[in-house]
Chains A and B, each alone.
Chain A
């Protein structure tokens, strides 16, 4: 049996997201409370900037003597530019506003006031758990589409499909003022002009099948959340991803471009909250072995991005073009005959 990696492209499932503060703070919502994506659910004070000032060196004295020349005591507030120490014509001023936090070894430490941090709900739903001082759990129902690569943070907006088919690239001229505040959906990819135009019009997110590698540095610098569903290069968006996004064209969605590839994997995603009286009973359990009939996607060339159904799990390893001998499956990807794809190059779609 082979237990494959999985990607979600689910029209309606239970969605549960843990929202955690980066450092301890205060949760501002209660269990059972309904929240909106932009609502603050917790807040914390993050440590501020700091400056280390070598007072002894700047005043030309030994470390032990600096207390004789200090004008401010440890624990006292200081203004930017305020004199901290003075010896004849030599003065040491605070480069930032804050507190004189400590003194020792001939130097002092000035800490700026903490920076307030607000944690937003990100998705519309109900608070089902409060992790005191750390964060909350929010649950809802809706469609979930996971990307393979992403950049940028989180946002919220209306989905706007700008291409007719999944193999069409997003073009700069497609992005007009009506895209302001929306999450735009393309097919295969986009270029630098699209990114520039999207930033000008304050687009809230971009979703396409692929991204040319040369655009990665610019995309990483962009504040817009960007989600790539297939990979880096030039590939069309897989049909089920495109169809699910197209079905929800015009609906509000949450988007996250955050990605972490190891040790607590985080995948970029789009969540479209949908009302559900009852969820479909056919929901596949995660983490199950690959079986005949499973819907899979190929993740390596020459079939990268092709979605199909497992027809046969081949018993014995076979040689592939590289001469490697590997276990695989016959997959119906809509060609005349099913194609042999190594198991390691398949992921299950749920």
Chain B
């Protein structure tokens, strides 16, 4: 492959659970630009059983557009001087997840921290063993639980530094016993991330029963959480033992000068990049809703926070969500009547035909409802682990996020931009002023992977047409009666024209501001209600230069947290109105 200085063309692939996307970046006029993309089914299963087939199918589409060949007749990736590309890099989320059993002392402390650590990679928590009495399992039941779960890793947290010892060791003993009952080749690895003073004792207990790894205590004090080390261990284990199960991975890696990156990790990298480019006092958030996983990547104060909600995307996990959380969880977001049986059927049929798309409105609403719940579920795990500092004016609400990247086929392929915006607003409920950026071509994770090879390409390609402004959103925080005027908004376009509107509580206002257009937005909260629009605190207004988007400029005055009508019919009227407001 080419030296860094001579890298002109870059081919990037992302092998997702269902779809494989490939994009071509090329240096045009001295700057990296998005040139073309292709998309095909992921081919990890029969009849292909080789993910490189899906990459080739997607590349065929790029060849059709550009006339450029990327593969030799023998199937090798061509270097750029023979057409092809200088560099190839790939990400994937198609491998099976790391199956984890979590052990710890207190469900809401060490176990919750271990759960967040596991969510830093593609994982599935098969069982939780906590000592704080909830569940009240005997040792035999615990051994049975581990035995049945047959995990890849048993991650044991618990015990503050200088804290409890005996209950932690009991969990280690249980884990070791469960391992000893398994066939040697199938024994899980034990990852100990608890009280560091017990390490030697843990080594003695586990010796000969399982492979042991030790990480920093995830919960060294009540107030402190330290996920980095254990996340690294789990991520490494995932890369070595699960990613490699993807058929054709060897060939894919042989094309690339860098190791294959998990999609979520690459996505997190680009979110962190964007934080460095923006306002450091607020955060940057990335939401990627895929077929089987939902990823939330955040950056605050320069620190990345990554959460992968495994096994819940818009294709896989819907039926389980319906069983576990009930019909209303999804039905509340659907603007027209849908029976539980209809919903159940649609969810299962989608899993049976994962690549299929809805051709009727009911299916669209259901997929968007699922996307909302997938994001909400991921947020629930992610938020307690964030350290947003000054970006968090209200502890019970979202922190201030300057930019929100919206990615993943499930959202991006939504028929109308307003529907995408509404899905994201309902699920995230941002506050203050945020720009929603749509990752239209699924470039975000690919750019995260190229950042390791050619950082400049990642930065330049961000502005080259692959990302599209979806909307600038203003979400005031405060309380009022529905219909009360809470905000006066004046918009002044660059040509000097403009207008003013009064915004009533409970409504969504969409003001015209096209992509590429800029305007000065003047926000004046009305005296009595003193809403906070993110410009310095409650009641404070000001001016801000904002960018347009394909869904316009949205003032979301529905309040935070969002309140849905309890009566199903009223709620359908409410959600229909909101959809109408955003042009959905």
Q: Give residues in A with beta carbon < 8 Å to B.
A: 1-6, 23, 47, 50-54, 102, 105, 107, 109, 111, 148-149, 212-214, 216, 231-233, 261-265, 286-287, 289, 299-304, 320-326, 342, 344-345, 347
Contacts and interface: CB of A to CB of B under 8 A. Distances in A.
Contact of A342 (B53, B245, B357): B357
B17 A301 contact: no
Interface string B334-352: 0000000110110011011
20 contacts: A1-B60, A3-B41, A5-B353, A47-B183, A52-B140, A102-B177, A109-B181, A213-B341, A213-B348, A261-B352, A262-B96, A287-B47, A300-B357, A300-B359, A321-B360, A321-B361, A322-B415, A325-B415, A344-B355, A347-B353
Contacts of B183: 23, 47
A302 B316 contact: no
A326 B357 CA distance: 9
Nearest to A51: B140
A105 B173 contact: yes
B45 interface: yes
B41 A5 contact: yes
B292 to A, nearest CB: 7
Given A52-B177, A265-B45, A287-B47, A345 B356 contact: yes
List 4 tightest A-B contacts by C-beta distance, closest first: A286-B47, A213-B344, A323-B415, A287-B47
Contact of A233 (B61, B345, B355): B345
B140 A302 contact: no
A322 B361 contact: yes
A123 to B, nearest CB: 17
Contacts of A325: 415
A300 B363 CA distance: 10
B140 A265 contact: no
Nearest to B584: A323
Interface in B110-159: 138-140, 143
B358 interface: yes
B333 to A, nearest CB: 16
Contacts of A322: 358-361, 363-364, 415
Nearest to A210: B345
A50 B342 CA distance: 44
Contacts of B356: 299-300, 344-345
Contacts of B138: 52
B46 interface: yes
Interface residues of B, number: 52
B416 interface: yes
Nearest to B186: A23
A233 B343 CA distance: 10
Q: Is the interface of A mostly helix, strand, loop or mixed?
A: loop
B348 A149 contact: yes
B228 interface: no
A261 B316 contact: yes
Contacts of B60: 1
B413 interface: yes
Contacts of A301: 359-360, 363
Contacts of A2: 40
Nearest to B205: A105
Contacts of A4: 41
Contacts of A264: 45
B360 to A, nearest CB: 6
Nearest to B354: A261
B180 interface: yes
A262 B317 CA distance: 12
Contacts of B177: 52, 102, 109
Nearest to B53: A287
Contacts of B96: 262-263
A213 B339 CA distance: 11
B352 A231 contact: yes
A286 B49 CA distance: 11
Contacts of B143: 50, 52
Contacts of B348: 149, 213, 216, 231-232
B580 interface: no
A264 B246 CA distance: 10
B540 interface: no
B48 interface: yes
B359 A321 contact: yes
A348 to B, nearest CB: 10
B560 interface: no
Given A47-B181, A102-B180, A265-B46, A212 B359 contact: no
Contacts of B53: 3, 287
A3 B46 CA distance: 12
Interface string B24-42: 0000000000000000110
A262 B181 contact: no
A232 B340 CA distance: 13
Q: Which of B48, B61, B358 has the most CB of A within 10 A?
A: B358
Contacts of A286: 46-47
B276 interface: no
Contacts of B54: 3
B57 interface: yes
B355 A5 contact: yes
Nearest to B180: A102
Given A149-B352, A263-B96, A287 B48 contact: yes
Contacts of A53: 140
Contacts of B414: 324
A193 B110 CA distance: 50
Contacts of B44: 263
Contact of B357 (A149, A214, A345): A345
